């Protein structure tokens, strides 16, 4: 099918290439560019781009460059008429630097912007979580448009404030990555004394240190841009380790068991891919025409742990509008209650 929709991809690595492939499969016309011209040419060869170059007429631009150059590329893309998003692993510095109602920061929790375009895959984002970070200044229509395109790639969108995103990914990605490197280094130091140590490294250790085998380049930007949250995250981990050390050293079996049981329960309950609900309810929320509404509603729903599907914004003649989205029918009352508590007037209706 052809839709006449146009997209621009800046940075045609694994993520940019995968976005291009997925959009083209839906009939989008995709233009792209990369500092490395050979890489952009390769993206055309692989079918991820229709053409190499710029596109001021693009409806949407995905900036998929390393974190350090996202803000300047986003500002350049905003000279065009469309909406702009990115895929960087840190959000506050980028979102603050760009500060434009048509820009919404994004972060797909799949792949990495520094891996090669040859690994690009139209289905990379299917079932993956993709964070979007609207702010008080975000234009609701721009947010809805970006959200719908991202959803169309098969991703489950979670809306978070940029600073919350950064704090949370420090906990579940940045600090764990640095910890993998620390574990690996500690074991390697032991291997200087005993060559045998690394032969004892079985499945669990291999799983835990696998991410340390990745190219470190990307982490320098991330550590620089997300310094505060990472340092706080390391401090949190160090306290947890100190607690555990005291339990082991003191021979406190009950305390240790309780600690490990809590961790086990949390790990077992780790959500897998967000399931599509069996039944959906449509939530309609009349919203005033004021800044920040979109960020408030979407992050509120995300914080409840509820998935939103198929968001759209219906503008009314009187200036305000209506947000319309779908949630799991079982969660409809929860969402409605939370919105009522914030003085919205939502309606919820189960779909047949």
Binding mask 126-155 for a second copy (x = CB under 8 A): --xx-x------------------------
Q: What share of the chain is helix, strand, coil (3-state, %, to 5)?
A: 50, 20, 30
What is the spatial distance between Cα 157 and Cα 106, in angstroms, rounded to a whole number? 9
Provide the minimum distance between the beta carbon of 204 and a second copy in the complex, in angstroms, as a whole number: 4
What is the spatial distance between Cα 347 and Cα 286, in angstroms, rounded to a whole number? 9
Binding mask 2-41 for a second copy (x = CB under 8 A): ----------------------------------------
Q: Which positions from 295 through 334 interact with a second copy, judged by CB under 8 A?
A: 302-305
Q: For Cα atoms 287, 290, 296, give the angle at the middle one, nearest 5 degrees.
A: 65
Nearer to a second copy, 230 or 287 (CB): 230
Do residues 146 and 85 lie in contact, with contact meaning Cβ atoms separated by under 8 Å? yes
Do residues 162 and 92 lie in contact, with contact meaning Cβ atoms separated by under 8 Å? yes
Nearer to a second copy, 210 or 345 (CB): 210
Q: Which of 2, 4, 79, 267 is in the footprint of a second copy by CB under 8 A?
A: 267
The span of 45-53, 135-143, 247-255, 308-316 binding a second copy (CB under 8 A) equals 247-255
Radius of gyration for the chain, computed over Cα atoms and rounded to the nearest angstrom: 22
Nearer to a second copy, 51 or 172 (CB): 172
160 binds a second copy (CB under 8 A): yes
Element spanning 282, H or E: strand 280-287
Nearer to a second copy, 45 or 261 (CB): 261
Provide the minimum distance between the beta carbon of 83 and a second copy in the complex, in angstroms, as a whole number: 23
Nearest to 136 by CA among 112, 162, 155, 158: 162
Tokens encoding 49: 């781009």
Nearer to a second copy, 206 or 350 (CB): 206
289 binds a second copy (CB under 8 A): no
Provide the minimum distance between the beta carbon of 110 and a second copy in the complex, in angstroms, as a whole number: 7
Q: Which of 50, 73, 164, 328 is in the footprint of a second copy by CB under 8 A?
A: 164
Q: Which positions from 38 through 77 interact with a second copy, judged by CB under 8 A?
A: none
Do residues 298 and 159 lie in contact, with contact meaning Cβ atoms separated by under 8 Å? yes
Q: Which positions from 167 through 226 interact with a second copy, judged by CB under 8 A?
A: 167-169, 171-173, 175-191, 194-217, 219-220, 223-224
Provide the minimum distance between the beta carbon of 67 and a second copy in the complex, in angstroms, as a whole number: 13
What is the spatial distance between Cα 301 and Cα 280, in angstroms, rounded to a whole number? 15
- Residues 223-248: b if buried by 16+ CB within 10 A, e if exposed: bebbeebbeebbeebeeeeeeeeebe
Size of the site for a second copy (CB under 8 A): 99
Asked whether the CA dihedral 174, 129, 259, 204 is positive or negative, the reply is negative
- In what order do the strands lie in the sheet containing 60-63? 51-52, 29-33, 6-10, 60-63, 83-86, 103-108, 129-133, 156-159
Provide the minimum distance between the beta carbon of 327 and a second copy in the complex, in angstroms, as a whole number: 14
268 binds a second copy (CB under 8 A): yes
For residue 68, give the DSSP letter: G
Do residues 312 and 148 lie in contact, with contact meaning Cβ atoms separated by under 8 Å? yes
Q: Which of 270, 317, 341, 351 is in the footprint of a second copy by CB under 8 A?
A: 270
Nearer to a second copy, 97 or 211 (CB): 211
Provide the minimum distance between the beta carbon of 211 and a second copy in the complex, in angstroms, as a whole number: 4
Nearer to a second copy, 60 or 67 (CB): 67
Q: Which of 240, 314, 330, 340 is in the footprint of a second copy by CB under 8 A?
A: 240
Q: Which of 27, 53, 236, 292 is in the footprint of a second copy by CB under 8 A?
A: 236
What lies within 8 Å, CB to CB, of 82 at 6+ separation is: 6, 8, 57, 58, 59, 60, 61, 102
Provide the minimum distance between the beta carbon of 53 and a second copy in the complex, in angstroms, as a whole number: 32
């Amino acid at each position: 099918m052809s839709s006449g929709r146009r997209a621009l991809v800046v940075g045609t690595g694994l993520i940019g290439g995968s976005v291009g492939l997925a959009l083209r499969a839906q009939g989008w016309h995709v233009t792209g560019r990369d500092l490395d011209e050979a890489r952009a040419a390769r993206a055309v060869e692989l079918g991820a781009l229709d053409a190499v170059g710029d596109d001021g007429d693009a409806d949407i631009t995905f900036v998929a460059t390393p974190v350090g150059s996202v803000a300047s590329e986003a500002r350049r893309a905003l000279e065009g008429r469309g909406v702009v998003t990115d895929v960087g692993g840190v959000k506050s510095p980028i979102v603050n630097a760009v500060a434009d109602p048509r820009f919404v920061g994004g972060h797909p929790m799949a792949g990495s912007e520094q891996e090669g375009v040859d690994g690009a895959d139209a289905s990379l984002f299917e079932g993956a979580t993709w964070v979007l970070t609207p702010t008080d200044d975000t234009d609701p229509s721009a947010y809805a448009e970006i959200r719908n395109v991202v959803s169309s790639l098969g991703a489950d969108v979670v809306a978070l404030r940029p600073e919350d995103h950064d704090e949370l990914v420090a906990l579940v990605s940045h600090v764990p990555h640095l910890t993998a490197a620390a574990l690996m280094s500690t074991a390697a130091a032991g291997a200087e004394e005993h060559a045998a140590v690394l032969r004892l490294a079985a499945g669990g250790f291999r799983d835990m240190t696998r991410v340390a085998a990745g190219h470190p380049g990307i982490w320098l930007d991330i550590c620089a841009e997300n310094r505060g949250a990472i340092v706080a995250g390391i401090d949190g981990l160090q306290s947890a380790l100190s607690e555990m050390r005291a339990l082991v050293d003191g021979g406190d079996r009950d305390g240790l068991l309780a600690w490990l049981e809590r961790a086990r329960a949390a790990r077992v309950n780790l959500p897998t891919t967000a399931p599509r609900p069996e039944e959906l309810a449509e939530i309609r929320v009349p919203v005033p025409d004021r800044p920040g509404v979109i960020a408030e509603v979407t992050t509120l729903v995300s914080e409840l742990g509820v998935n939103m599907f198929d968001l759209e914004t219906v503008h009314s003649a009187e200036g305000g509008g209506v947000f319309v989205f779908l949630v799991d029918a079982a969660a409809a009352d929860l969402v409605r209650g939370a919105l009522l508590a914030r003085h919205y007037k939502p309606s919820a209706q189960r779909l047949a």
